[in-house]
Structure 1
């Protein structure tokens, strides 16, 4: 049975969707802004909030770190300075961890390097995310898997060989793995979401929870992913599409996130238990729209029913249903019927089958 437990939250085929608000660096390097986003995310009903942690000096080449970065989304003169301005230190993470705990949110982060992973592990975070760019980074996968915590791994830009390698690397050490189908484009076009890969993963890795890292600019595809078996949905989250930074434009704002969570929670309710049955809410509409057999004209006592004597008309108010017509033909009326008067099982000399009579009784009720 595929199952994952993150900070006490059980994720399985028979569970609600585990919804992650990916805040990333939309906090713009501010603890206060991150806290505001946590509160908004909680109000939207998400299960978890997630940040991104980088040790920039060790992560980037010196050339990239020192590359000029002069654009409208820059927080520094070089790419390294830009990234450092967006980074939160260990004390900030501890403060945000406490904030999330108080709000009842699961709090974790993407580790982009081993130093960041070690910092997060010192805080005893309940889970880790590995980004698509590190799917082939088996040393990092192995290092984080060794912590014995659940891993959520995105698979954007991968082949099945890449995914197999990552799965084998992690599960050889730690079976607590969730795979996310992902298109590593920001935003991702609907025609490039490849949601069918969710089914592929579920069939290929029957022991693993599967989900979707959804970079599409909208909320309609996540419920589709749930129907295909995704039980983790990750969505970027912001408080303003116009805020400085590249992620804000395709991130969900609170109204969108609320609707996303609402729709994901509705899916299992809408699916139901698979049993086809009449519902109480259908009774009045079907009484009005349904049909019963009625006399097409005045019919005398003793009349032998023939073709054309009975017609189907609305509403259905206790008369026999139209499918009883064949059984009624050739039977004798034991009382007269007026035009448009419904015919019932007791109105003919031969007993109408119990099933037909019961159906008429159900329609009437």
Structure 2
């Protein structure tokens, strides 16, 4: 059965969507700003908030760490200084973990290296994210899978061979896996989303929950993803599109996240149970728009109905619906009708009416257009 539990929330084919507000480093290294983002995500209805954790000196080569980083989004003179300025430490993570619990938000993070993964495990976070860039990093996958926690795996830039290799690495140790279709472009164009891969993943990995890490700067495609079977949606989240940093421009702001969550929550109810039936809310509109059969002119008793004797007119408040016309032709009238008088089943002397071939003259039967 395709099912996953993250922070007490069950995710599966027959559940609503699990929405992750990906904060990443949009907090800009500021604990208070991170808390503000948590509150805004909660108010917008997100199920979870996610950060990114790096041990920068371990993660980057010395050359990259010390390389100049002079641009409008830089928080330091070198790339290493920039990354360190954005990083939150253990104490901040501990405080944010407790704050998320107060808000009843699931809180977890992307681990970019083993050291960061160990810190997150020490804090007992309920799940882990592995970024697209580490899909081929089987040592990290194996290390994190061994914790036995739910693992959310992005697949940007991957082939099916890469995905198979990652699952072959994780699943023997840990079956608690969510696989996200992802395009590792920031932002991703609609033409690059490849949402059909969601179907490919669902068919190829029938026991794995599938979702979408959506880097497109809108909300409509996430709804399409849900209809294709995605049950986890991850969207980058910010308080301002103009804030300093590369992610803010394509991230959802609180109102956008609220609309996304609202629409995703509506989808299961909108799908319904698949049974086609008339609804109470349709009765009045269809009575007004629908039609019934009436006499096109004055018709005497005993007249044998012929083409042109009856016409369909609104409202459909009583009498016979137009689809009964073929059964009526060639039958005699039991009583006279004046022009535009409603025809009822017992107005015709016909064996068909007696055998129930004609619909009763009820409002429900006559409200079919």
323-332 or 169-178: which moved more?
323-332
Kindly report which structure 2 residues correspond to 1:27-38, keeping only aligned pairs within 5 A, or say none. Answer: 27-38=27-38
Q: Which residue of 2 aligns with 1:362?
A: 364
- Structure 2, unmatched stretches of 5+, are none
Distance 1:117 1:355, change over 3 A: farther
Displacement of 1:359 in angstroms is 7.3
Question: Residue in 2 aligned with 1:144?
Answer: 144
Alignment of 1:20 onto 2:12:
no
Mapped pair 1:312 → 2:328: no
Q: Deviations over 1:306-342 (max 9, x none)?
A: 1111111111111101111111111111111111111
Call closer, same or farther: CA 1:345–1:144 in 2, change over 3 Å: same
CA distance in 2, matches of 1:209, 1:120: 23
TM-score by length of 1: 0.98
Give the secondary-structure state (helix, strand or coil) at the position aligned to 1:108: strand
C-alpha separation in 2, matches of 1:239 and 1:91? 23
Using the alignment, how far apart are the partners of 2:322 and 2:21 within structure 1? Answer: 54
Indicate if the aligned counterparts of 1:287 and 1:363 stay in contact, CA closer than 8 A. Answer: no
Against the structure 1 CA distance between its residues 159 and 281, is the aligned structure 2 distance closer, same or farther, given a 3 Å change threshold? same
- Cα distance in 1 for partners of 2:337, 2:75 equals 87
CA distance, structure 2, for counterparts of residue 42 and residue 287 of structure 1: 44
Q: Which residue of 1 aligns with 2:90?
A: 90
Distance 1:355 1:275, change over 3 A: farther
In structure 1, distance between residues paired with 2:362 and 2:337? 17
SS of aligned partner of 1:356: coil
Separation of aligned partners in 2, 1:7 and 1:304:
74
Aligned to 2:242: 242
TM-score for the superposition, normalised by structure 2:
0.97
User: What SS does structure 2 have at the residue aligned with 1:63?
Assistant: helix
CA displacement at 1:354 relative to structure 2 = 2.6
Structure 1 residue 119: Cα displacement: 0.2
Aligned to 2:65: 65
Inter-partner Cα distance in structure 1 for 2:305 and 2:349: 11
> CA separation in 2, counterparts of 1:354 and 1:144?
70
Q: Deviations over 1:140-167 (max 9, x none)?
A: 0000000000000000000000000001
The equivalences for 1:220-299 within 5 A come to 220-299=220-299
Does 272-281 or 325-334 show the bigger shift?
325-334
Bigger Cα displacement from structure 2, 330-339 vs 68-77: 330-339
